[in-house]
Structure 1
Amino acid sequence: MTAPRMDVAIFSYNRGAYLKNCVESLQRNLPGVHFTVYDDGSDEPDTVAYLQSLGGHVRHMKSGGDERHGGYYNNMQAALDATQADYLLMLQDDLQVVRPFAQEELSRIHEVFEQSPTTVFISPLFMKGSKRAYFQQRYQADTALRCYRWSADPQETGKVPQKYADIAVLHVARLRQSGWQFAGSEEANGVLADQLFGDMVQVAEPWVFYVPEEPAYRGRVLTFGAKLAVKMAGNQVKSFRDMTAQASTAFAQRDLRVYPFAEDFVDTVDPTVRKPYKFNAYRTRWLPLILNKLELLGRRLWSH
């Protein structure tokens, strides 16, 4: 049997330093993996220069025009259509691969897919420490396949992440056989996945996480509040230190009752970054948060 192959797609827009951090972490920890950056029309000079340095690894996409997400979901569809691999890892430019990923781990992912014929999405993400109780309640360990499976609450109606999440390893053939076409939001894709597939699976040894306090675009622009927050935070990528080989081995051998919360296993290079980690820089300080909300509200009122 031929060993399964995984491609990587990275979705990018005007965050050159974050994209560089993402790509370099991928090259360190998954050396030799085939990756493609799908850039949604970046025009910020440093981002453009870095994209040029990647040469043939970049596909320059024309935005689909979705107000909130630009061409993100159209670009995800393009990545799915283009890959020739068995599995496709979907990343965003504000993510980092934080530990070495070994071939046997891909074999384990393959085994999970084989033993779960209705599964098409597997999460590679560490769990967020800010949601400890939620994740511990919603995920139960499958010790035979060494993964976590969703434990549904009949009171919940949302299908993210029970059925779908934007950051995932995709089973390419099953998606194509279903006629899958990405919808325009994570929530809409969750509803579609609920109609077609079984539950999403969480890996026991994740290898990807969000870089904290990143600049978050809305409608392809940074609000004034987001810009202020980035400036107040120091305008530097809050990157992670890679897990050592020893730490990674211990992580892989732990009891699955110890959930993979990022804050327990992954540290930032800058020790002053607060835990639990916060995402979207404007959420870390009250003034940028208020300004961001006011601007987004004003945009919605103006559009009507």
Structure 2
Amino acid sequence: MPESDANEHDPVTIDNNLNTPEPRDPAGAPRDWPLHFLVFSFNRGEFLAHCINSIQRCAPGCAVTVHDDNSSDAHTQQVLAELVKADNGIAVVQPPADNGDSKHGGLYGNMQRACAAVDDNTLICTLQDDMQLVRPLRRADLDQWLALYNQQDSNQQHHGFLQPAFLKSLGAKVSTDDVSYESNKQVYLINRQKRSAGAWYSDVFMIQAKLLRQHNWQFATRESGNEQQARQHFEQMGYLRNPFVAWLPGAPAWRGKRRTLAMKLAEHNRHCGFYPFSIMSDEQSNAFCARDAGQLPIAEEWLSLQANHGEPSLAKPWFYYPLQDQRALKLANRLELQLGKLVGR
């Protein structure tokens, strides 16, 4: 997708585009729910604003901290400034940058600092800026997740990470035969042991903060390193029976703060852009949560895209990385990144 000048963007609005009423729950006053969203951001202002809006609509009782990796994009900087100016309880942090050689930029250093600032009994939920909440959270949801960490019965307790996101289309690498369901914990387990990540750990996760501290958790600089660490300390990651967040499909990508010509060409060819989801109504959310557990929470089967804002619609199954299934461009991207390192760029 061709890059556009930041000045072409419309003025930033931090409460728009989510055509669903704000949920009301008398059991939860603003910011008093023990769930803290940590949103990690870099140079995708439109996506960040949308992510924050979805949290405000679906989980108004939860704290939010945005950890921005020192975005250079003017539009993203404007969104961050508007969040600070709004003074609505959303914190914005821009810590010192980590070594840019990491595939994920300064993500893991930011994660370490973010998790260290959260109270022991709080549930941490990490999100990336190209994600959104897709259904209203209920206090009963939160109580059930907290109980997984606070149960005295080891058969009812979950000692590890939880995955709060809808499943992407399983594809050829994983079949329904690789998925099992633990009814006592209301989580799915997915056989991804042969993959570098996704069985015990994912960069998008939910966990009680004190569990990380009990094991002196230090984030590694690669997702695969965190997967190995999680295998040493925790049980397999549980995928929530009733997830509540999702990755936006077809989003432009930043990997290690570099954008190659191959990446830009892939984004243009595949019509990458902003494809937000409609948020479920209370009735739709209740029906989803009441479904049989045998119906897996796959995004393509349960979520609907909003009107495409003039951009081409995305065919299913959706893609989530511009270079996905693009072998020639993926090779060109890798070579360009390696050349950039050699010339010090």
Question: Normalising by the residue count of structure 2, what TM-score does the alignment of the two structures yield?
Answer: 0.79
Aligned AA for 1:223? T
* Structure 2 residue 129 is the aligned partner of structure 1 residue 100: no
1:79 to 114, 119, 128: 114
Task: Write the distance in 1 (CA, Å) between the matches of 2:110 and 2:175.
Answer: 30
Question: Which stretch of structure 1 is more off in the superposition, 185-194 or 50-59?
Answer: 50-59
Which position in structure 2 is the counterpart of 1:193? 230
Question: Which stretch of structure 1 is more off in the superposition, 32-41 or 213-222?
Answer: 213-222
1:110 to 128, 131, 146: 146
Q: SS at 1:74's partner residue?
A: helix
* Structure 2 residue 256 is the aligned partner of structure 1 residue 219: yes
Equivalent runs, 1:1-304 vs 2, <5 Å: 5-55=34-84, 57-67=91-101, 68-84=103-119, 85-113=121-149, 114=151, 115=154, 117=157, 119-131=159-171, 134=174, 136-150=176-190, 152=191, 156-158=193-195, 160-232=197-269, 236-270=273-307, 272-283=313-324, 290-301=328-339, 303=341
Deviation sequence 1:177-218 (CA, Å, 0-9, x none): 111000011110000111111111111000111101111112
Structure 2: unaligned runs, 5 residues or longer: 1-31, 85-89
Residues 127 and 135 of structure 1 are in contact (CA less than 8 Å); yes or no, is this contact kept in structure 2? no
Task: Write the distance in 1 (CA, Å) between the matches of 2:234 and 2:186.
Answer: 21
Task: Write the distance in 2 (CA, Å) between the matches of 1:205 and 1:117.
Answer: 18
Return the offset for 1:274: 1.3
Return the offset for 1:232: 4.9
Q: SS at 2:180's partner residue?
A: strand
Question: Which stretch of structure 1 is more off in the superposition, 264-273 or 38-47?
Answer: 264-273
- Greater fraction helix: 1
Question: Which stretch of structure 1 is more off in the superposition, 190-199 or 262-271?
Answer: 262-271
Question: Which stretch of structure 1 is more off in the superposition, 213-222 or 132-141?
Answer: 132-141
Report the CA distance shift for 1:51/1:202 in structure 2 as closer, same or farther (over 3 A): same
Question: Which stretch of structure 1 is more off in the superposition, 232-241 or 4-13?
Answer: 232-241
Task: Write the distance in 2 (CA, Å) between the matches of 1:129 and 1:66.
Answer: 31
Structure 1: unaligned runs, 5 residues or longer: none
Report the CA distance shift for 1:158/1:259 in structure 2 as closer, same or farther (over 3 A): same
Runs (4+) of structure 1 exceeding 6 A deviation are: none
Return the offset for 1:262: 0.7
Task: Write the distance in 1 (CA, Å) between the matches of 2:183 and 2:165.
Answer: 18
Aligned AA for 1:91? L
Report the CA distance shift for 1:235/1:147 in structure 2 as closer, same or farther (over 3 A): closer
Task: Write the distance in 1 (CA, Å) between the matches of 2:339 and 2:259.
Answer: 18
Return the offset for 1:224: 1.7
Q: SS at 1:242's partner residue?
A: coil
Aligned AA for 2:43? N
Task: Write the distance in 2 (CA, Å) between the matches of 1:235 and 1:255.
Answer: 34
Give the RMSD, CA atoms, in angstroms: 2.4
Return the offset for 1:160: 2.3
Report the CA distance shift for 1:129/1:235 in structure 2 as closer, same or farther (over 3 A): closer
Task: Write the distance in 2 (CA, Å) between the matches of 1:137 and 1:299.
Answer: 37
Q: Percent identity?
A: 29
Return the offset for 1:282: 4.2
Residues 250 and 273 of structure 2 are in contact (CA less than 8 Å); yes or no, is this contact kept in structure 1? no
Report the CA distance shift for 1:291/1:146 in structure 2 as closer, same or farther (over 3 A): closer
Q: SS at 1:57's partner residue?
A: strand
Question: Normalising by the residue count of structure 1, what TM-score does the alignment of the two structures yield?
Answer: 0.89
